[in-house]
Amino acid sequence: MLNEGLASTIGGRPSVGVSIVMPCLNEVDCLPACIANARAALDLIEQKFGLTGEIVIADNGSSDGSQTVAEGLDARCVDVPRRGYGAALSGGFMAARGRYLVMGDADGSYDFRDSVAMVGKLIEGADLCMGSRFKGGIEPRAMPWKNRYIGNPVLTGILNLLFRSGISDAHCGLRALTRDCFDRLGLSGSGMEFASEMVIKASLLGVRIVEVPAKLRRDLRNRPPHLRPWRDGWRHLRYLLMLSPVWLFALPAAVLAALSMTILGAAGLAALQGTAATSFFGNFWVILAGGLASVSHIAALLAVAGKLYGIRQGYRRTGTRVQALAGLVSLESMLIVGVISMMLGLGLLSYLLIYWSAHHFDPIANVLPAVLGTSLMVIGMQNMLGGFLLSIISGNDANFMKAPAPALSPPATPAAGEAQRPSRAA
């Protein structure tokens, strides 16, 4: 039997095997049933795995006496001043003493006994265990139709496409994870996007994610839910995009670059053949292609910036391609390339000025040389400024492509009564 949690400590406090954490905001009517259900789940966990447990109510500013009810039912109530679903869960996880962390809503919509199988998966070696309501069953009227048939499938599909998570329900509120996994993820979302953030960062870091069925029941509330489908759906979607610089920046950059090169290449070939006036891509298309080339370049720089930021923040790994470029790409190399591009553009524009003056300043029929010269100068300047931006993002390091050095900060000693994230060594 597993009793390892009894002997260990977390942040100087004796730890337990499992902490069930519930975010709470004015749930006084639901808490008694939820705490009783969580207590039954902990009893099953102790019987099956030999792990002791605790119930943590992460209170987010309740004004209906939820704190008193929770403490009266022997649950540990933790005050989380920062508002929001994600903020409450993060605060509850930081204060929890469990080696394994279970999260679930405090409105009676989840059966915490489903978390017994989740804890079993963590014991077997998983880092994060997701519940799936689509596999476990959804009671009638437990989930609005637009969430069930539009919101959740679409957002889960997009998440799987962008991050290859391979899960069926990215927004199930009942899930479990190890304390080490929580520490590694560095979760920061304060709202409902916290649910997506957990899955995204777990996928990016390559932690082991598994899934078990979880039932969704009609909640016990006599008031409207805190969830706002359209607002929170948009918050999830924008978070998916913000954590995916490849899809948000790199893919559009590649498409725009290909389109620009096609137009400019065709226009250049026509100019060499002396048929520019009758070319399919006339002057207006050439001007557009120059703009697309500039936008493509800045989008590529933003993609690199997003990638480096994720690596520096610890939720992205340094891939082989980044390592291969580490010795070639730096602030200095980007400045050199930028200067070369600007000199080529300036040379082309200078030649164009000489040609124009030699022809008595008559209008030039083909704008391709002017567009190419201007685009080269703009791209060169963007490359130089972008190099400084990437260096700033990388902690003012000119060799921004190299892997960041591990932090060596000593563990802080928490003040009395202060909830603090436990160290990774716990």
**Secondary structure, 3-state, the chain:** CCCHHHHCEECCEECEEEEEEEEECCCCCCHHHHHHHHHHHHHHHHHHHCCCEEEEEEECCCCCCHHHHHHHCCCEEEECCCCCHHHHHHHHHHHCCEEEEEECCCCCCECHHHHHHHHHHHHCCCCEEEEEHHHHCECCCCCCHHHHHHHHHHHHHHHHHHHCCCCCCCCCCCEEEEHHHHHHHCCCCCCCCHHHHHHHHHHHHCCCEEEEECCECCCCCCCCCCCCHHHHHHHHHHHHHHCCHHHHHHHHHHHHHHHHHHHHHHHHHHHHCCCHHHCCCCHHHHHHHHHHHHHHHHHHHHHHHHHHHHHHHCCCCCCHHHHHHCCCCCHHHHHHHHHHHHHHHHHHHHHHHHHHHHCCCCCCCCCHHHHHHHHHHHHHHHHHHHHHHHHHHCCCCCCCCCCCCCCCCCCCCCCCCCCCCCCCCC
Calpha distance 197→185 (Å, rounded): 9
pLDDT level of residue 193 (50, 70, 90 thresholds): confident
- Tell me the mean pLDDT in the region 339-368: 87
pLDDT level of residue 374 (50, 70, 90 thresholds): very high
pLDDT of residue 191: 86
CATH code at 8-242? 3.90.550.10
pLDDT of residue 78: 95
Q: Has residue 404 got a pLDDT over 70?
A: no
Q: Tens digit of pLDDT for each residue in 268-308?
A: 888 777 655 555 667 889 999 999 999 999 999 999 999 88
- From residue 157, give the alpha-carbon distance in Å to each of 160, 165, 169: 5, 10, 9
Least confident of 163-167, 193-197, 363-367: 363-367
* The residue to which tokens 């048939």 are assigned: 149
pLDDT of residue 20: 98
9 vs 70, higher pLDDT? 70
pLDDT of residue 103: 97
Q: Has residue 231 got a pLDDT over 80?
A: no
φ, ψ for residue 351, nearest 5 deg: -60, -40
249 vs 410, higher pLDDT? 249
Q: Has residue 315 got a pLDDT over 90?
A: no
122 vs 319, higher pLDDT? 122
Q: Tens digit of pLDDT for each residue in 59-117?
A: 999 999 999 999 999 999 999 999 999 999 999 999 999 999 999 999 999 999 999 99
pLDDT of residue 420: 40
pLDDT of residue 10: 60
The pLDDT > 70 percentage for the chain reads 88
Q: Has residue 328 got a pLDDT over 90?
A: no
Calpha distance 414→402 (Å, rounded): 34
* The residue to which tokens 């620009």 are assigned: 260
pLDDT of residue 367: 86
Q: Chain centroid to CA 282: how far?
A: 43
**Residue 34, amino acid:** C
- Tell me the mean pLDDT in the region 308-327: 80
pLDDT level of residue 311 (50, 70, 90 thresholds): confident
pLDDT level of residue 224 (50, 70, 90 thresholds): low
pLDDT of residue 411: 45
3 vs 223, higher pLDDT? 223
How far apart, in Å, do the first and last CA atoms of the chain sit?
21
pLDDT level of residue 416 (50, 70, 90 thresholds): very low
Q: Has residue 319 got a pLDDT over 80?
A: no
pLDDT of residue 403: 65
pLDDT level of residue 410 (50, 70, 90 thresholds): very low
Calpha distance 327→332 (Å, rounded): 12
Calpha distance 9→206 (Å, rounded): 27
Q: What angle do CA 100, 103, 106 make, to 5 degrees?
A: 140
**Mean pLDDT of all residues in the chain?**
86
Q: Tens digit of pLDDT for each residue in 18-40?
A: 999 999 999 999 999 999 999 99
